[in-house]
Structure 1
């Protein structure tokens, strides 16, 4: 019979009500990393912080990931997966590419701190391969050969991620700074001296109308127009 005065054995890692070490997994580590990143920013994301939040020593995290960079690549995979999971090609190659670009932008804006960190990375995992396969499939449908499809794939992805991460970088600014940048188009630009900047003064009233949505659609339209024009000549 157990002596009631004898304390129950502690489970390794179950400190201060936190989950035991045995419950660690790649997904739980990525969940914790995303929480830290989105709530406190990239500076707070360290292996020691993850270990503390998960109720274990930071070395336990290294049983699942080789280091912080691999964790970031895992988060990059999640970002891409959010954009491509459940996606099916549209009725035309152009609609497929347009919709994919919009989904990537939406995922980046849903997780701006993450997008700023990983938009330029190559995650080399299944979701990225799935996205690549979809884009290349659309380009092959447009009539391009393998070499041209590879070049246009890189161009389309780079422009989409560049624009999306640029917008995400604005989203993580302090709200006052972000609003100052946004309002500058309709304030400082309109107030610029017409004598010193006559060409700027000519178009200044229209600059504030070109918001983020308009610019993304405009640039993607220009790029796809160029792709479509070249598909007709190849």
Structure 2
């Protein structure tokens, strides 16, 4: 039986799988053709050269990562759901996210998640500078947590490890604390705990009447320099 005609979407999906599993360096036209069981010329016909393929793959990744739908009964709960979804997607696609960053599309990739956060922050009663601060704080919390997770995963084995370092003396006679810090970290649980606490504190201003509708920096912002959001690699 003849193989069904190859489509551009099949080429991009196979390319994304190669990058996801082995990194961008594994994506060659010859290897991609072998994965698809077709000729290299067929790959060129569908996506052009390797640079065109990478550009198309980045656009596809940006579109996929942008589809985040908040869930929950309250603005706070929905903000947390956006943060959790964004963390999962960054964790699941590190090589693809790195490619997006290298092509200068990081801000565009984060825009849909930021827009979802803006909607929920407005629903919570915050606007202006304080609303923007919430959006950025949540985004940086997500990205920072993912960076720490990946750094820990790639670190060499530790000698001594946490289980050896935490005892009665280092824990200031708090055995429950020592036992917990000696155990492996449940990163999902820790992330959810920290982002819930962050969101609760940030949204407290809505209840206290601290909303700021101005477009400039808040009274406590000083001469802060706004930096671009980091990204996980």
What range is the shorter-chain TM-score in?
0.5 to 0.7
Taking a change above 3 Å as real, the CA distance of residues 18 and 123 of structure 1, as seen in their structure-2 partners, is farther
Q: Which of 48, 72, 80 is matched with 1:62 structurally?
A: 48
SS state at 2:52 partner: coil
| Partner in structure 2 of residue 190 of structure 1 | 166
Distance of aligned partners of 1:155 and 1:67 in 2 relative to their CA distance in 1, 3 Å threshold: farther
- Contact 1:139/1:149, CA 8 A, preserved across alignment: yes
Give me the whole-angstrom Cα distance separating, in 1, the residues matched to 2:44 and 2:14: 15
Unaligned runs of 5+ in 2: 212-233
Tell me: higher relative CO, structure 1 or 2? Use CA pairs within 8 A at least 6 residues apart: 2
Which is worse superposed, 59-68 or 90-99? 59-68
Cα deviation, 1:120-146, whole Å, max 9, x if unaligned, reads 952636xx5543332101111122223
- What is residue 146 of structure 2 aligned with on the other side? 164
Structure 2 residue 120 is the aligned partner of structure 1 residue 146: no
Q: Does 1:124 find its partner at 2:98?
A: no
Q: Which residue pairs with 1:229 in the alignment? A: 204
| Number of equivalences | 198
The answer to whether the 8 A contact 1:77-1:123 is kept is: no
TM-score by length of 2: 0.64
**Cα root mean square deviation, aligned:** 3.9
* C-alpha contact 2:19 2:95 (8 A) present in aligned 1: yes
Aligned to 1:5: none
Structure 1 unaligned residues grouped into runs of 5+? 1-16
Aligned to 1:34: 16
